Chain A
């Protein structure tokens, strides 16, 4: 009965997937259909039993009951609100005027603001749109080269992807079966290097092509002295509060990334209210009260822990009450109510779309493993010259080109689960691998003509700016990005040095035996025997099922 030998199934499946995706039918359904079709084919051929397919719904349930993935809607919602809450305007206006007179100053301002926005939110769209709307007109007015201007805005927007709390890192952590906290910790080094690299490029441009990035004449500054500083603070202080609310709570172990995203959304709504011109005087008082109370909480918690324990509940009640008054403004003011509602609608559809890609790819990957897909991929990639480094270079070139056609969600959900087992067998630290892929996938936003960042920019750029200028402008930044990838490959310490030493295992010392087909884990990632966590689990009598959703920090 065997028309198709087992050895052909995996390549046929992979080829079928590529073909069907190219046709242009929605990715999620193509994945599911290819997976199911080959699943039944495999049952027909006796490669596995029907019970195998019955495991599928449990996997799907595993996805929709995953607390960590809940961060996707929250961060998306937060980004959609932040995009139009006026924070980016304040930051760019203040820092732009501060740096403006320096040659290339607006470029530095955009990179810095991109990094700050990146540390608050997790979505690229929010940063690029906000910065494009504000900085592009200013840069045009003062005679910046338009290729440079659009390039720096698009590239700085993609910093968001790498700098925690990035959505990509959450998704990659989930796919690779690592904790989000570790992933975030590992991304710090590379994101700092990236900011320096971008600033360095702006500096080089200001030396070799000074006419591209003229300094703004000092007379055109509208603010001087104290008002200018105040303007800068008005942008930076709320940013720091939001960064603490989101990143700080994650790193202090106070909240899960999911909750941090939710709190960030609440913070973003509060910020949008405070910035709105219809913000009522009563609520303004409540806002000040909230600010004072939270400062008191902070001081008491640090200075007098005993007193803090006693007063904590009351202080927080006061803070929440004041916050509630401020948030109620978000319902009262029609414009904000519409903004929030629209943001929820967009968020819902993006979430459903993304999660369905994951559902489709889970079905595909499960069947792919069932027909010995892992040995097939290993056979393809394991024999590359140069061992681990050869593999990494190949994978990065591969992902770089794939990023022309696929978005990061598709790459993360479809390709990464196939690559991870091979990476692990080669003794590559999965956190490092994930961060590396994350840096690489930033390019998927910058590739002409499909890159998202360029696409957003085209949507908001004035008509005078030609599409070709936006496309050409992106090229140097894509080159910088490739340099970044090389740096991260060459210096794994950039990632591993920031990891918690207790969990960190020297990548070279790991020897891992991966079960050939592993159907146990819900998200398609393989279990990790041999790592620190794996050994700890073996010591217990009944090892708990791996739960990747709890942050370790």
Chain B
């Protein structure tokens, strides 16, 4: 169990770092987007590369940030049942869900999305807009994001099992995220 928990801590630390990157991407993409509008007002200059970079960042922030969001238990649930059962039952629901729902889904999605990146990379796919960007650097976030999510799912699974077997203090704090 100790080794597994160590593995889980390593994943948590890695995804927390990537979450930090995603936080920065929110701010940066926002400034770039405002900058695009500002430069159009002042100089009538508009660059496809800069227009594209903002959604590149969007893709990156979603795919990198989702694992950290999972770690913080902030993927929204329908909590009519969940909020009214014991902590043990909540842990059971989570273990059941990670094994049967989440992990198969993220593994399949990572597997299916690999060719999307690979084809783009092999063909050297470039945006059809004039001055557009190379596509594979954004497409790589699909397989990478789902793979990271799989790892985070494993980490959460390990932690839930540790909670159930008493190797870890049971702490399942769930609050519906603010909107």
Contact = CB atoms under 8 A, between A and B. Distances in A.
Interface of A: 20-30, 32-33, 36-37, 53-54, 56-58, 60-61, 64-67, 69-70, 73-74, 76-77, 123-125, 249, 254-255, 258-263, 265-266, 312-313, 316-317, 320, 340-341, 344-353, 355-357, 363, 405-410, 452, 455-456
Contacts of A60: 109, 113, 142
B27 A123 contact: no
| Residue from B25, B26, B77 with most neighbouring chain A CB atoms (10 Å) | B26
B141 A262 contact: no
A464 to B, nearest CB: 24
A316 B38 contact: yes
A60 B69 CA distance: 18
A348 B30 contact: no
B42 A313 contact: yes
Given A340-B27, A356-B66, A405-B80, A64 B141 contact: yes
Contact of A353 (B69, B79, B101): B69
Contacts of B141: 64
Contacts of A408: 179
A123 B42 contact: no
29 contacts: A24-B82, A24-B83, A25-B77, A25-B96, A26-B75, A27-B77, A54-B112, A57-B116, A66-B55, A67-B55, A69-B58, A70-B55, A70-B58, A77-B30, A254-B37, A255-B37, A266-B31, A312-B42, A316-B38, A320-B42, A344-B24, A344-B26, A345-B23, A348-B22, A350-B178, A353-B74, A357-B76, A405-B80, A455-B176
Given A24-B82, A54-B112, A344-B26, A33 B69 contact: no
B66 A313 contact: no
A255 B35 CA distance: 11
A61 B97 contact: no
Contact of B101 (A29, A344, A345, A410): A29
A262 B33 contact: yes
B33 A258 contact: yes
B106 to A, nearest CB: 8
Secondary structure at the A interface, as helix, strand, loop or mixed, is helix
Contacts, number: 225
A341 B55 contact: no
Contacts of A406: 78
A410 B79 CA distance: 13
Contact of B42 (A61, A67, A124, A316): A316
A198 to B, nearest CB: 21
A78 B162 CA distance: 40
Contacts of A346: 178
Given A74-B33, A77-B27, A259-B37, 20 more contacts: A22-B80, A26-B102, A29-B102, A67-B51, A67-B54, A73-B26, A73-B61, A125-B179, A255-B37, A260-B37, A261-B30, A316-B42, A344-B27, A348-B25, A348-B61, A352-B69, A353-B76, A355-B62, A356-B66, A363-B105
Interface residues of B, number: 69
Contact of A263 (B34, B61, B69, B77): B34
Nearest to A123: B179
B50 to A, nearest CB: 11
A77 B66 contact: no
A454 to B, nearest CB: 12
B8 interface: no
A257 B69 CA distance: 26
B22 A317 contact: no
Contacts of A23: 81-82, 93, 96-97
Nearest to B36: A259
Contacts of B22: 348, 352
A265 B34 contact: yes
B152 to A, nearest CB: 11
Given A259-B33, A351-B62, A352-B66, A124 B112 contact: no
| Of listed B38, B43, B54, residue having the most chain A CB within 10 A | B38
A293 B97 CA distance: 58
Contacts of A351: 26, 61-62, 65
A24 B51 CA distance: 39
A262 B34 contact: yes
Given A353-B75, A407-B76, A259 B34 contact: yes
